[in-house]
Structure 1
Amino acid sequence: MIEELQQIGLTTNECKVYLALINHGVSLAGTISRKTGLHRRSVYDITEMLVKKGLIGYIVKNNRRYFEAVHPQKILDIIKEKENILSPLVNELTQSFESKKEKQETNFYKGKDGLKTIFEEQLNHKEIFILGASTKAYEILQFYFIWYDKKRKKKKIKTRIITSDPKILKIPLADIRYIPEKYASPVAVNIYGDKTAIILWAKEPIAIVIKNQEIAEGYRNYFEIMWKIGKK
């Protein structure tokens, strides 16, 4: 029981004195001293603290103090009082914490349908950056990209593409830069808004989409470096 009472901020000796008064009722300091094994001087100091905390009270008879524990319900009152004091502080701290914390989500997609989900999400953004575009994407999704490019054109979504694949030529609303074929990779990176999609264009394509503003900005900065290197 002492450990539980310590959870509300009582010291070990305060717990002993409080429990002695709960179990034995109204008591003098000397009686409390005998029941708890604490020195009488310590008992006086402890009872003074418990009075301040509202857990015990006393009456004076013949110049002697008789101590008595208040109803245990007071413990719950103390907890509620602390909660009322701390609640606004916790709310304020939570707001500060959430405003500084970068929210991040990572989702894994597999197969053609999974990849279509990613591209349809891109249609909600004003501009798309593609690093490492490949005709393999068109081979795997085939007619889907015809619909996708029409939709993107209708919504006037611009795309900037860096590729080492010379087969990629005219794409609606797209600026294309070419880098040497030695940089060719089956992995493409699409950056849009605060999301970065890392796509492996294999027979069974897979992708990881990371929602994180700092990561997206980092990839955009890298894209701009490669854009300057690329040729029209």
Structure 2
Amino acid sequence: MEELKQAGLTENESKVYLGLIELGPSLAGGVARKTGLHRRTVYDTTEMLIQKGLVGYILKNNRRIFQASNPNRLIEIIQEKQNLLLPFVESIQQKYNSTKEKEETNFYKGKEGLKTVFEEQLDSKEILILGASPKAYEILQFYFKWYDKTRKQKKIKSRIIASDKKISNIPLAEIKYLPEKYTSPVSVNIYENKTAIIVWAKDPIAIVIKNKEIADAYRSYFELMWKIARK
């Protein structure tokens, strides 16, 4: 019966149709006894099934004798619905394709790869950095001088949460600190709809995820830690 519901039949319509399949040509009273439905309900339900082409009837002695149509009609009903729905789906598919943000995950390795990640951030309005590591300035020492200068020229503000007081005196940046025990070689940069997870190892790597929901989730976590951190 669940399959008939998937085809768009109500519970009563399913009962009456299956009842007629088993009974063959029948009066409303016979269908009522078979299905346990009230006779008036059977009449109302058969009218709906007639409209759907699933039940027919003949008049004999001014009485309707109902008969179920070929079950292939169920497939036709589904196909008809698909045909009606197809133009609508095609129209909204175009809107979906034009507005859906494409999710991307990119991996970068080495100093040059990380430079690509940071230069991309220079098109942002604000950069949030969770777990800033002093190793960043050791690995990309000369590059960050240019990066911070360019960020300042573009007036891109940054908020930074670090655990090492060596992270200080960065232009256009507000810095707060967590206890040193939370120091880690991994930092997370959040900007626009992207999240960059950076591992400041000897051969550094970065994973950049382009996804608004993920970026917003990390942004919320950053704001929570920002309240906990101290200047």
Give the match's secondary structure for 2:159. strand
- TM-score normalised to the size of structure 2? 0.60
Identical counterparts, % of pairs: 48
In the alignment, what sits opposite 1:214?
217
Alignment of 1:96-115 (within 5 A): 107=105, 109-112=107-110, 113-115=112-114
In the alignment, what sits opposite 2:14?
11
How many pairs align?
Answer: 199
Contact kept? 1:130, 1:190, Cα under 8 Å: yes
Deviation at 1:157, TM superposition (A): 0.4
Deviations 1:74-95 (A, max 9, x none): 646754569979xx9xxxxxxx
Deviation at 1:202, TM superposition (A): 0.9
State how far apart, in whole Å, the 2-side matches of 1:82 and 1:225 are: 55
In the alignment, what sits opposite 2:94?
none
Structure number with larger C-alpha Rg: 1
Taking structure 1 as reference, are residues 75 and 28 closer, same or farther at Cα in structure 2, changes over 3 Å only?
same
Match for 2:48 among 49, 52, 70? 52
Deviation at 1:61, TM superposition (A): 3.0
Give the match's secondary structure for 1:121. helix
Give the match's secondary structure for 1:53. helix
State how far apart, in whole Å, the 2-side matches of 1:64 and 1:184 are: 87
Taking structure 1 as reference, are residues 7 and 191 closer, same or farther at Cα in structure 2, changes over 3 Å only?
closer
Contact kept? 1:195, 1:216, Cα under 8 Å: no
Give the match's secondary structure for 1:123. helix
Taking structure 1 as reference, are residues 110 and 69 closer, same or farther at Cα in structure 2, changes over 3 Å only?
same
Taking structure 1 as reference, are residues 157 and 29 closer, same or farther at Cα in structure 2, changes over 3 Å only?
same
Contact kept? 2:152, 2:172, Cα under 8 Å: yes
Give the match's secondary structure for 2:123. coil
- Whichever residue aligns with residue 50 of structure 1, its letter is T
- Whichever residue aligns with residue 173 of structure 2, its letter is A
Deviation at 1:161, TM superposition (A): 3.1
Give the match's secondary structure for 1:128. strand
Alignment of 1:196-215 (within 5 A): 196-209=195-208, 211-215=214-218
- Whichever residue aligns with residue 48 of structure 2, its letter is K
In the alignment, what sits opposite 2:133?
134
- TM-score normalised to the size of structure 1? 0.60
Contact kept? 2:19, 2:34, Cα under 8 Å: no
Deviations 1:163-208 (A, max 9, x none): 4445445433234456665543222233334554442211232345
Give the match's secondary structure for 1:204. coil
Contact kept? 2:17, 2:55, Cα under 8 Å: no
Q: Which runs of 5+ in 2 are unaligned?
A: 89-100
In the alignment, what sits opposite 1:42?
34
Contact kept? 2:127, 2:159, Cα under 8 Å: yes
Q: Which runs of 5+ in 1 are unaligned?
A: 22-26, 89-102
Alignment of 1:146-225 (within 5 A): 146-177=145-176, 181-193=180-192, 195-209=194-208, 211-225=214-228
Deviations 1:22-46 (A, max 9, x none): xxxxx4549xx9xxxx778438959
State how far apart, in whole Å, the 1-side matches of 2:173 and 2:3 are: 67
RMSD: 4.3
Contact kept? 1:193, 1:216, Cα under 8 Å: no
